[in-house]
């Protein structure tokens, strides 16, 4: 968990931690499918407190036109201030994972400088119920980077197959954990006894994928019978384009093109 009062005490410490990411914080290069991890979009009660939390964790604030983004290697985090309808647990996305190059040292620093408390299970649960699992990864090229998205559905193998088919994700080896990989993120699929709630309206409202040639990709999805919740739309006075859909199990997904600020 994180302590909001403690989070506000050290803006200097936050800026120093955020600065360690520097220019390494970029989205992964898309593979053959033209798709890579894009962003996590959160609904939070107090956006200012959450921005401080994500900065302390290692994120860097950047802006693309009117879009305010928090940048980590492999993903952006976006915030919308509103009352979330629930936490991640109980929804189709149970939690997300970030990989940390020196986890124990980071845990001590976060507690000391920003009041972020990591549980014995190496996880953080924010006041709005966002569960973030942390994994120690000495081989990481960045202090903190995007790791995985953990889905829970009543049909994990079918969910895996859908993401492989629609987004060109690479499935994990048969016989092991049910996973699929896109540049920048591993998708993990677990079994739920009953159908979880949709992500829409909860603290993790939707996940985002960055797509090269988004307009044509949307036409391909629609030709395959997939209904878009919001059709291809180019944002005003911007090179950024978006579209929305919901997977068959209730995970709300935004597709973007040119979400990252121009270099």
Which residues, at least 6 apart from 68, have a Cβ–Cβ distance to it below 8 Å? 61, 78, 79
pLDDT at position 127: 94
The two most distant CA atoms of the chain are separated, in Å, by: 53
For 165, phi then psi, to 5°, come to -70, -45
CATH architecture of 4-257: Roll (3.10)
Q: How confident is the model at residue 93 (pLDDT cuts 50, 70, 90)?
A: very high
Q: How confident is the model at residue 120 (pLDDT cuts 50, 70, 90)?
A: very high
Regarding pTM above 0.85, the answer is yes
pLDDT in tens, 12-26: 333 333 333 333 348
Cβ 111 vs Cβ 215: under 8 Å: no
Distance CA 78, CA 85 (A): 17
Domain residue ranges of the chain, discontinuous segments joined by +: 4-257
pLDDT at position 1: 55
pLDDT higher than 60, residue 84: yes
Sign, CA torsion 252/133/86/113: negative
pLDDT at position 262: 85
* Coil, strand or helix at 193: coil
Cβ 217 vs Cβ 44: under 8 Å: no
């Amino acid at each position: 968990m994180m302590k909001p009062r403690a989070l506000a005490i050290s803006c200097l410490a936050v800026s120093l931690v955020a600065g360690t990411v520097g220019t390494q914080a970029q989205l992964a290069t898309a593979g053959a499918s033209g798709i890579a991890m894009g962003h996590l979009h959160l609904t939070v009660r107090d956006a200012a407190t959450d921005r401080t939390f994500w900065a302390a964790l290692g994120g860097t604030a950047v802006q693309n036109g009117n879009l305010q983004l928090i940048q980590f290697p492999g993903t952006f985090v976006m915030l919308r201030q509103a009352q979330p309808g629930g936490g991640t647990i109980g929804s189709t996305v149970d939690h997300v994972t970030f990989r940390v190059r020196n986890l124990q040292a980071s845990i001590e620093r976060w507690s000391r400088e920003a009041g972020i408390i990591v549980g014995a299970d190496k996880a953080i649960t924010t006041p709005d119920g966002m569960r973030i699992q942390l994994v120690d990864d000495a081989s990481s090229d960045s202090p903190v980077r995007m790791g995985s998205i953990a889905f829970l559905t009543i049909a994990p193998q079918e969910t895996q197959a859908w993401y492989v088919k629609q987004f060109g994700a690479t499935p994990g080896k048969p016989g092991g954990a049910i996973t699929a990989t896109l540049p920048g993120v591993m998708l993990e699929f677990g079994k739920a006894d009953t159908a979880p709630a949709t992500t829409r309206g909860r603290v993790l409202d939707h996940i985002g994928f960055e797509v090269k040639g988004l307009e044509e990709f949307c036409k391909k999805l629609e030709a395959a019978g997939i209904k878009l919740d919001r059709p291809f739309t180019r944002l005003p006075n911007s090179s950024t384009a978006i579209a929305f859909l919901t997977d068959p199990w209730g995970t709300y997904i935004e597709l973007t093109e040119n979400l990252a600020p121009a270099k």
